[in-house]
Amino acid sequence: MWQANHVAQLLCQVEPELDVIMVPSDTFADLDLERSIAELGGKGAFSKEIQQVVVAGHADIAVHSAKDLQALTPQGLTVAAYPKRGDARDALVGITLEQLTDRLAAGDQPTLASGSNRRRALLLDRCPGAAFTDLRGNIATRLARLEATGDKPADLTVVDGLIMAAVALERLGLDTEIGVIDHLEPDWFVPQVGQGALAVETRTDNRELRALVAAIDDPLTRLAVEAERSFLAELGGDCTLPAGAHATVAAVDRRVEITIRGVLADPDLAHLQRHTEVGPVDSEPGRVLARTLRKALEAATS
């Protein structure tokens, strides 16, 4: 709801007389907390039903976390805006990277909660020996897993730390309330495709609405996120492999140049490949990155 309200505020800055009505919609991924996101279909688990509401005409706009979108936009819909991106980093909550490393060196085995195989692969690459458990539910439920006391379900396993998107804590104003947060820099802990960004979809045939929503589009965010999504599309659409990509945009010699870092691991998390691709937009650096990483992973696992 924070995301939807934020987009509504941006639109009202463009058109002050706009009347925005919220149409809340739970997805099956919101309701089914027993299975992992991978078991629920991976990307699209938090977006497909919301998209169907817009396609059916029950709402005019869909607001998503860009990281939850499939690589390919469904027919009839258009991502009319990517507003200015927030923090794309992941964060360790409840334990710092240094504390984690020290405890592992001392023979301890801290348990971390994360529902993402990408996050697990990246942390295991830096901190071999860490143990993991799944992480589902809303932010309050996730944070409750750090506390050994308090009112919580008896089957809620207490963990030493969580790995989650830093922007989620920031948007809910929790980043200043939590005692221990260690932000993991994207040059080594490569985020999920689209992490930190919002994607605003409309029906393709509604030109007037598309034009209104386009007014809140941030061109640099669009270039970066679309490069990342092209990486995912090249890997196979809604790739279920542990993968991440993070792009930055800069002007070089009067041309726009994209630097995109990527990681790709095998399903067993035994092999992790990294690569950085740099090039102009028309060279499709995201797709080149995906092909390079896929080839490297195939060589490492053959």
- Residues assigned a catalytic role: 67-68, 118-119, 136, 142, 239
Q: Is 240 exposed, middle or buried (0-12, 13-18, 19+ CB in 10 A)?
A: middle
Sign of the CA dihedral 230, 236, 239, 245?
Answer: negative
Residue among 128, 45, 87 at smallest CA distance from 221: 87
Please, which contacts does 111-114 make with residues 24 or more away whose CB atoms are closer than 8 Å? 111/157, 111/159, 111/160, 112/159, 112/160, 112/161, 112/162, 112/163, 113/142, 113/145, 113/157, 113/159, 113/161, 113/162, 113/163, 114/162, 114/163, 114/164
Please, which contacts does 8-17 make with residues 24 or more away whose CB atoms are closer than 8 Å? 10/83, 10/216, 11/212, 11/213, 11/215, 11/216, 13/216, 14/212, 14/215, 14/216, 15/212
Per-position DSSP letters for 22-53, written without gaps between them = ------HHHH--SS-TTTTTSTTTTTHHHHHH
